Structure 1
Amino acid sequence: MSIPILRYSLTTQNQRVNGFETNPGEEQPKIYTTDNLPTAFEMDEIIWACYRQIFSEHQILSSTKDPFLESQLRFNQIKIKDFIVSLLLSDSFRHLNYDVNNNYRIVEMCLQRVLGRDVYNEREKLAFAVIVADKGLEAFIDLLVNSDEYAENFGETIVPYQRRRIIAQRSKGEIPFNLKTPRLTESYSIKQNSAQLLSSTAVRKFRPQEQSPRAGDPALFLAIVNEVSPLAV
């Protein structure tokens, strides 16, 4: 008996209005697409953008790359959408993401990376988690990439991107929102990599008075033994 799919309503109206970006020129995402017959260099950027979107930057390893799929995309044998689906269903994605997370986290992660947005509410997260539990990861991915939302925003030739990458209070140095694993700004990277102040004085150990050995404590005899030089043979 299959688990009934939970019905939910959208509790946010943000999808109906234009987003408010702190700096539109900087916050507008770059669109990677094959519609304009990209050059070899541009195709390299498109492939990199696909890996970065699906695996995020900290998971782009030699094991996650698939030269055969890349070759098919370069020679227009498959579309960007097909490439994205293959990455999502790859052993690398399953090993690095699906096997080590619960269904709720998988739903959040896939909506961020496939649809470019967070979950609308807890009921949406629960509804998709039920699909993952009942029908598996493949059915869940198929539902996302074949949804009207994916088709309207990305189609078959656009790499998914974060549709609402808003930085609040940029002047205070907050980390940019990007798939929960942000690309750090230059100022933040400098701050994070700055040298720490180190003291040249020796570090002294402090032993509380109540922990000091008392008369008859074996620790006192051990100290005496350590001070006695071994006898020459």
Structure 2
Amino acid sequence: MSIPLLKYSLSTQNQRVDGYEVSPGEEQPRAYNTDNLPSSVEMDEVIWAAYRQIFSEHQILSSTSDSNLESQLRFNQIRIKDFIRGLVLSESFRKLNYDVNNNYRFVEICVQRILGRDVYNEREKLAWSVVIASKGLESFINMLLDSDEYEENFGDSIVPYQRRRIIAQRSKGEMPFNLKTPRYGADFKEKFGMPQFIWQGPVRQFRPQEQRPKAGDPALFLGMVNDLATV
């Protein structure tokens, strides 16, 4: 008997709020799709967008490319959703993301890259981690891709993207998901005893020459006054 997905609350996030932008800006995500039979150059952009979303800009390497999947997509043998599924289930994705993180961190990465949003809370991380432990990685990935949330936002022909990114950056001060370093979360480093470099020396601040006090400036005697006050 398989374990059902644990319930978790759907906390309010920016992607769940209707947009109010008057006109699109450069920071807003662009939706790449194959609905209008893209040209060869446009298909190159679609494929690049898929790699950038799934592997992030830190992991786009020659080893992560899959010419077989690309060829099938170009000749309309598979849809964007199938292409995304192939990338996420690839050995390269597993090696670069799952093998170097625990299940909680891996869940966070996959939700961000596949569903285009951050995890709602720790309860959601736990729920999907149970799926990985009990059903395996492939079932977990398929459940995300076959979910109603994915279908409603991306369907079969749209490359996943970070939804409502510009507001998320302004309100939370976060960078786009595909720019976040995907490897080695804090708990993973602690588990394997990786060194934590903490500066123990004094912190020195640079002050331009024109801002430094000149001879006779009362600021030069402030330290002497403080010393006398403590006697």
TM over 0.5: yes
Helix, strand or coil: the match of 1:151?
Answer: helix
Gap change, CA 1:36 and 1:136, over 3 Å in 2: same
CA RMSD of aligned residues (A): 2.5
Aligned residue for 2:57?
57
Unmatched 5+ stretches in structure 1: 183-196, 198-233
Q: Would you say the 8 A contact 1:116–1:164 is kept in 2?
A: no
Gap change, CA 1:50 and 1:15, over 3 Å in 2: closer
Identity score, percent: 70
Q: Would you say the 8 A contact 2:113–2:161 is kept in 1?
A: yes
Q: Would you say the 8 A contact 1:132–1:140 is kept in 2?
A: yes
Aligned residue for 2:170?
168
Helix, strand or coil: the match of 1:111?
Answer: helix
Higher-Rg member (1/2): 1
Output one character per residue of 1:90-143: Cα deviation in whole Å (capped at 9) or x when no partner: 000011111111000011000000000000111111111111111111010000
Gap change, CA 1:79 and 1:176, over 3 Å in 2: same
Gap change, CA 1:155 and 1:3, over 3 Å in 2: closer
Q: Would you say the 8 A contact 1:5–1:127 is kept in 2?
A: yes
How far is 1:146 from its partner? 0.3
Partner amino acid for 1:96? L
**Quick check: 1:75 aligned with 2:75?**
yes
Gap change, CA 1:84 and 1:168, over 3 Å in 2: same
Tell me how far apart the structure 2 counterparts of residues 4 and 154 of structure 1 sit (CA, whole Å).
Answer: 25
Gap change, CA 1:16 and 1:49, over 3 Å in 2: closer
Aligned residue for 2:95?
95
Gap change, CA 1:178 and 1:7, over 3 Å in 2: closer
Q: Would you say the 8 A contact 2:57–2:178 is kept in 1?
A: no
Aligned residue for 1:45?
45
Gap change, CA 1:13 and 1:63, over 3 Å in 2: closer
Q: Tell me the TM-score normalised to structure 1 length.
A: 0.70
Gap change, CA 1:164 and 1:14, over 3 Å in 2: closer
Helix, strand or coil: the match of 2:178?
Answer: coil
Gap change, CA 1:100 and 1:50, over 3 Å in 2: same
How far is 1:24 from its partner? 4.5
Unmatched 5+ stretches in structure 2: 182-205, 207-231
Q: Would you say the 8 A contact 2:113–2:160 is kept in 1?
A: yes
Alignment of 1:1-233 (within 5 A): 5-12=5-12, 14-19=14-19, 24-166=24-166, 167-168=169-170, 176-181=175-180
Gap change, CA 1:175 and 1:120, over 3 Å in 2: closer
Tell me how far apart the structure 1 counterparts of residues 13 and 61 of structure 2 sit (CA, whole Å).
Answer: 38
Output one character per residue of 1:184-209: Cα deviation in whole Å (capped at 9) or x when no partner: xxxxxxxxxxxxx9xxxxxxxxxxxx
Output one character per residue of 1:28-55: Cα deviation in whole Å (capped at 9) or x when no partner: 2111100011000000000111111100
Gap change, CA 1:4 and 1:29, over 3 Å in 2: closer
Q: Would you say the 8 A contact 1:109–1:179 is kept in 2?
A: no
Helix, strand or coil: the match of 2:9?
Answer: coil
How far is 1:165 from its partner? 1.2
Aligned residue for 2:184?
none
Flag as ranges the 4+ runs of structure 1 deviating above 6 A. Answer: none
